[in-house]
C-alpha cells in the first residue's frame, strides 16, 4: 500500500515537536513522566439519593451576563469605569465603587489568572469583599489586567492580532500593576493605597514591586490571598504532568497560532448556561466536572450562584501566561521570569537561564492568607514564598480543611474563614 500524502508532514511535525522540547528546555529530561491517574469523572447521584428538588429550574439571576459596573449598580452602589494606558500601549479597564468621603482610604483589589473584576462582586453582598469594604467606608477599585474581557484594547494592536497576546506574568507585573496603581493614586489624590490580590494577581504585584522599588512606598498594606510564586508542589497530577511537556505544547500552540486561552465569549457563556445553569441538577453535575480542574472540594457556594460563577472563571488570558505557570511548576522552588530558551534569554536577561525574581525586594508590609486544601497553591510553596518575602507581618492559615482556591471570593464561609480577620488588619477607612 502506498504512503499516505499526509504521512510525511505528520512525521516531520512530530519530529520537530520532540526536537523543540529538547532544544528549548534548558532542563530537558528525555524520560517522559509517568502518566498520572486520570481524574475521576463526575458521577450522577444514585436514584435512592436523588433529591427531586434538583430537577427544579434555577431562577435566572437579574445579574446574569451583566458587567461588573452593572452588577454594582443593581446592588445599589455607585460605580465608575476608568481606563488606563500602560507604557506599552495596553488599555486597561478599572472599576470603582467610590466612597462618600474624599478622605476615605483607597483599596485596590486585583484578580488572578483567567478572571476579571466580576469575581469580587457576584457573591451575595454580605460576603462580597468589594461591597463589604465599601460598606466600611473605603474607596474600592477593582483591577482588570490585559487580555481579560474588559481589557482588550491597545493604542496600536488589535486583539485579533497574535502580537496583542505576546505577554506573560512579566508584562502584567512590569506594566499593568504600576500603571493601575499610579492612575488610582493620581485620581484620588492619595499618596498610598491598600492592595489586596488573589492567586497569580499576587505574582504580578510582586514583579511590579521588584521591578519598580518605589511602588513599595506607595503600598500601605499588601494582602496576599492564596498567592502564587513558587508552583512546585501543586496537588493537581495532570498539571504536574503537563509541566513536563510544556515546551512541545508551547511549540504546538505557536504552530497553530493560538495566542489566548480560557476565553469565554458572550455566545459561549449563553451556551454554557444552557447546559449548566438552568436546573439544579445541571449545576450540580457541572460543579462535579469542574472539580477535575479546581479541586475535589469545589462547590462551596449556593447553587443559584453557579450561573454567575462559571463565566467569571474564564475571562481569558494569553498562552504565555499559562506557559509561565507550568515553567515555574517544572523548576521546583523558585519564582522565575518567562523562559524563552537559551538564545532569547541571553538577549533579554544576559544569561542562558531565565531570570530569577528576588522576593526579598518586596518590602511593602505583607499579610498572607492560605489554605491547606488549595490544590493550586500548596502550603509548602507558601512556606517557601513567606521565607523569601522582605516584610511579612502575619500569616493566616484557613481553619476549614475543605476551603479551596476559589473560596477566597466565592466561599459560603469566606467571612468567617478569611474576611473577618482581613478587616481587622485594615486601618481606619478614613484618613485622619
Task: Dump pLDDT digits (tens) for 291-333.
Answer: 888 888 888 998 999 999 988 888 999 999 999 998 988 888 9
CA distance 258 to 263: 12
Q: Report the C-alpha gap between 296 and 285 in whole angstroms.
A: 13
Which residues, in sequence order, are bridge partners of residue 94?
Answer: 82
248 or 363: whose pLDDT is higher? Answer: 363
Matching CATH number, 58-425, of 3.40.50.2300, 1.10.3720.10, 3.40.640.10, 3.40.50.1820:
3.40.50.1820
- Across the chain, what does the average pLDDT equal? 87
- The answer to whether 20 is a known catalytic residue is no
Q: pLDDT (tens digit, 9 = 90+) per residue, 101-139?
A: 999 999 999 999 999 999 999 999 999 999 999 999 999
Q: Give the pLDDT mean for 383-410.
A: 96
Q: What pLDDT was estimated at residue 33? A: 46
What confidence category does residue 50 fall into, taking pLDDT thresholds of 50, 70 and 90? low
C-alpha cell at 95: 472599576
Average pLDDT rounded to a whole number, residues 275-283: 91
Please tell me the predicted confidence (pLDDT) of residue 107.
98
Cell (9 digits) for 120: 469580587
Distance CA 142, CA 133 (A): 12
The whole-angstrom separation of Cα 390 and Cα 360 is: 4
3-state secondary structure of 406: coil
- Hey, how many other C-beta atoms are within 10 angstroms of the C-beta on 116? 25
Q: Are 31 and 43 in contact (CB under 8 A)?
A: no
- Higher pLDDT pick, 19 / 233: 233
Confidence (pLDDT) at 239: 67
Asked whether residue 53 carries a pLDDT value surpassing 80, the answer given is no
Domain boundaries, the chain: 58-425
**DSSP output for 9-73:** HHHHHHHHHHHHHHHH-TT--SSPPPPPPPPPPP-PPPGGG--GGGGSBPPPPTTTT--HHHHHH
Is residue 320 a contact partner of residue 303, using CB atoms and an 8 Å limit?
no
In the set 117, 199, 205, 354, the catalytic residue is 199
Q: Which of 24-33, 136-145, 218-227, 266-275 has the lowest mean pLDDT?
A: 24-33
Catalytic residue among 190, 198, 367, 405: 405
Q: Are 199 and 227 in contact (CB under 8 A)?
A: yes
pTM score, whole prediction: 0.87
Highest mean pLDDT (candidates 34-38, 192-196, 291-295): 192-196
Ordered alpha helix ranges (H), 256-376: 266-276, 280-294, 306-312, 319-331, 342-349
Please state, in angstroms and rounded to a whole number, the distance separating the CA atoms of residues 215 and 231: 25
∠ CA 357-212-178 to the nearest 5 degrees?
A: 110
Q: Is 367 an active-site residue? A: no
Task: Please give the grid coordinates belonging to residue 247.
Answer: 515546551
Average pLDDT over residues 72-100: 98
Amino acid at each position: 500500500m502506498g504512503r499516505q500524502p499526509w504521512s510525511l508532514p505528520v512525521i516531520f511535525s512530530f519530529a520537530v515537536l520532540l526536537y523543540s522540547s529538547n532544544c528549548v528546555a534548558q532542563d530537558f529530561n528525555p524520560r517522559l513522566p509517568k502518566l498520572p491517574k486520570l481524574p475521576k469523572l463526575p458521577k450522577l447521584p444514585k436514584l435512592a439519593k436523588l433529591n427531586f428538588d434538583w430537577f427544579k429550574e434555577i431562577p435566572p439571576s437579574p445579574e446574569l451576563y451583566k458587567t461588573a459596573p452593572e452588577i454594582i449598580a443593581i446592588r445599589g452602589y455607585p460605580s465608575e469605569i476608568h481606563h488606563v494606558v500602560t507604557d506599552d500601549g495596553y488599555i486597561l479597564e478599572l472599576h470603582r465603587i467610590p466612597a462618600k468621603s474624599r478622605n476615605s482610604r483607597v483599596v485596590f483589589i486585583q484578580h488572578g489568572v483567567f478572571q476579571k473584576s466580576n469575581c469580587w462582586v457576584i457573591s451575595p453582598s454580605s460576603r462580597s469583599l468589594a461591597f463589604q469594604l465599601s460598606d466600611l467606608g473605603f474607596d474600592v477599585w477593582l483591577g482588570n489586567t490585559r487580555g481579560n474581557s474588559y481589557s482588550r484594547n491597545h493604542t496600536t494592536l488589535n486583539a485579533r492580532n497574535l502580537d496583542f497576546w505576546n505577554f506573560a506574568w512579566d508584562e502584567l507585573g512590569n506594566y499593568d500593576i504600576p500603571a493601575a496603581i499610579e492612575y488610582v493614586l493620581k485620581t484620588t489624590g492619595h499618596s498610598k493605597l491598600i492592595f489586596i490580590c488573589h492567586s497569580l494577581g499576587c505574582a504580578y504585584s510582586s514583579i511590579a514591586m521588584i521591578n519598580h522599588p518605589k511602588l513599595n512606598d506607595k503600598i500601605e498594606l499588601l494582602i496576599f490571598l492564596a498567592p502564587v510564586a513558587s508552583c512546585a508542589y501543586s496537588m493537581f497530577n495532570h498539571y504536574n504532568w503537563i509541566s513536563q511537556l510544556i515546551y512541545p505544547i508551547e511549540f504546538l500552540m505557536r504552530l497553530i497560532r493560538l495566542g489566548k486561552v480560557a476565553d469565554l465569549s458572550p455566545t459561549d457563556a449563553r451556551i454554557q448556561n444552557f447546559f449548566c445553569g438552568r436546573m439544579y441538577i445541571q449545576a450540580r453535575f457541572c460543579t462535579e466536572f469542574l472539580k477535575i480542574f479546581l479541586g475535589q472540594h469545589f462547590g462551596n457556594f449556593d447553587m443559584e450562584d453557579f450561573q454567575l460563577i462559571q463565566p467569571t472563571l474564564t475571562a481569558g488570558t494569553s498562552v504565555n501566561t499559562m506557559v509561565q505557570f507550568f515553567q515555574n511548576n517544572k523548576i521546583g522552588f523558585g519564582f522565575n521570569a518567562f523562559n524563552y530558551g537559551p538564545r532569547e534569554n541571553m538577549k533579554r536577561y544576559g544569561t542562558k537561564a531565565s531570570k530569577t525574581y528576588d522576593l526579598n525586594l518586596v518590602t511593602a508590609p505583607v499579610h498572607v492568607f492560605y489554605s491547606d486544601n488549595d490544590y493550586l497553591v500548596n502550603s509548602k510553596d507558601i512556606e517557601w514564598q513567606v521565607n523569601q518575602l522582605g516584610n511579612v507581618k502575619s500569616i493566616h492559615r484557613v481553619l476549614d480543611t475543605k476551603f479551596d482556591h476559589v473560596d477566597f471570593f466565592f466561599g459560603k464561609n469566606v467571612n468567617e474563614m478569611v474576611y473577618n480577620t482581613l478587616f481587622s488588619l485594615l486601618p481606619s477607612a478614613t484618613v485622619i
